[in-house]
Structure 1
């Protein structure tokens, strides 16, 4: 059985990996899935920020509820 996840536990888990490389798999709607790699830059009370590797100036932000609802899947370390 899968462990029950709350927003607080997701935030704490992500917060421990600041500065590490991450891989994101985001649902773009209409059968589109975006896979990006970057560095977890900062964590805020409602969102977290990732600087993408493919473009030095581009950052993306996601909320912890995106991870909870599995709209965004995040894995730490390079694959």
Structure 2
């Protein structure tokens, strides 16, 4: 199902505080995987508090990355 930008924003806001997994396309058969808690949602970005003790402690993503399928978001 293809979602539009307002649907994506409301879906993210509905899941604030939930555990989240994000897989980001990093080019040519490479991906980065992030896991944590969806902590904040702003008009243009949402922020994840990462599980790992490594730096940085947060990661931010734009809603358009979901729309363009640059990232895959799964709530656990």
User: Deviations 1:54-74 (Å, cap 9, x if unpaired)?
Assistant: 127511110000000110111
The structural deviation recorded for 1:40 is 0.2
For 1:52, which of 33, 50, 53 is the aligned residue? 50
1:18 aligns with 2:16: yes
Q: Which runs of 5+ in 2 are unaligned?
A: none
SS in structure 1 opposite 2:43? coil
TM-score, structure 1 as length reference: 0.87
Give, in whole Å, the separation in 2 of the partners of 1:55 and 1:27: 23
Q: Which runs of 5+ in 1 are unaligned?
A: none
Give, in whole Å, the separation in 1 of the partners of 2:40 and 2:6: 16
User: Where has structure 1 moved over 4 Å in runs of 4 or more?
Assistant: none
Give, in whole Å, the separation in 2 of the partners of 1:24 and 1:55: 17
- Give the structure 2 partner of residue 75 of structure 1: 74
Q: CA RMSD in A?
A: 1.3
TM-score, structure 2 as length reference: 0.90
The structural deviation recorded for 1:38 is 0.5
